Amino acid sequence: MFNEVLVPVLLLSITIQLGYALFFFGQLFSLTNSKFKIQNSKLPILHQVTVIICAKNEAQNLQANLPAIMAQRYSNAAGNAMYRVLVVNDASADDTAIVLDRFKAQYQHLDIIHIAVDEMRTLPGKKYALSKALAQADTDYLLLTDADCQPASDNWLAAMVAPLHDGKEIVAGYGAYQYNSGMLNAFIRWETLHTFIQYAGYALSGKPYMAVGRNLACTKTALLKAQQSPVWTQLPSGDDDLLINAVADADNMAIVATPHATTASPAKQTWAAWLQQKQRHVSTGKYYKTSTKLLLALYALTHSLAWMSCILLLFTPAWQMALGVMLVRIMVNILIQQQACKLTGERNSILPFLLADVGWMIYNFALSPYIFFKNKTRWT
């Protein structure tokens, strides 16, 4: 009787999981590393670009990362930069203003907006800083990143905006986390790659639902349209996901996946800090389209059911069958992960994949209240 229930559950769950892998995640094999590799002499300099960074108490990160952003290879025939960097100092209490003023004296294509502590706000959290940047940005091409992000190369900007020149309105890139030893760091990087596999696969299948704001290009028109969304004012952050759900469709969004067009940020050092960060990230999930929420929920549910039924069946006479079908799923997903690693430059290791794949089941249970019910109301 025990097997009569678990075996069908396992087989159905694995079948659905393989369906997701083949229909959605397998789309990553349609991408190539060379697609957006552009030599500086062949850049399609048709539009200027504004790089926007909203910074709150980011003096140290700006000191470390801003020079690489200011040194992007995106210039005209005369050697003049065809982009400007606009940093919004959002009422910082550290030395952010001092650091930015020093950089301003060094770089002509750097502009700064200082928001006073007592300034009246019309939007919550980061949304207000972003609105200030949009009001001052005088280009239609925008590239959004964070103060703690280091671009992988000096061709990052060129690669990220290339699809905009081809008529796309939104471009989603990969935002990596820096490598450190330890289980937490390994899981953070696996979960980040897994999230990329999901949102890139969905977008390439014509069902875009999210992107990461630390490496996202779009037109100003698209972002202004997203601001008109009824849910824009309900969260202090989440501008990336809300933009996708308000504006993106099967035709106007591109995925750029190549190692020189990624960004890298420091990963959280404690489980508590990481969980707090993820609570904020997943809180926009409740605003996804109903069809997207159902697809994501079914994927997470069958992932958990596959592992739980397989583990239980290992203690029954059906253990060989259970192990066999799970190995098929694992091998298919490892092939997809290898392709994702190739595209993004992430490290590829099978053992962490197996451990993290099981851990993702626990992760979903832990964060489900924030996905379905709670909002994070502060931008920190």
Tell me the per-residue pLDDT of 184-231, one tens digit each, with 9 for 90 and over.
999 999 999 999 999 999 999 999 999 999 999 999 999 999 999 888
CA distance 346 to 343: 8
Residue 58 has pLDDT above 70, yes or no: yes
Q: Which of 195, 125, 133, 200 has the alpha carbon at shortest distance from 375? A: 125
Q: Is 208 helix (H, G, I), strand (E, B) or coil?
A: coil
Residue 298 has pLDDT above 50, yes or no: yes
Q: Which of 240, 239, 267, 36 has the alpha carbon at shortest distance from 156? A: 36
Residue 266 has pLDDT above 80, yes or no: yes
Is residue 224 within 8 Å of 169, Cβ to Cβ?
no
Is residue 188 within 8 Å of 271, Cβ to Cβ?
no
Structure confidence at residue 349 as a pLDDT band (50, 70, 90): confident
Q: What residue ranges define each of the domains in the chain, with the CATH number in brackets?
A: 2-27+291-368 (no CATH), 32-277 (3.90.550.10)
The structure's pTM equals 0.91
Distances (CA, A) of 88 to 8, 137, 168, 284: 55, 11, 26, 23
| Environment class of 159 (CB within 10 Å of its CB; exposed 0-12, middle 13-18, buried 19+) | buried
What six digits make up the tokens of 50? 């504004």
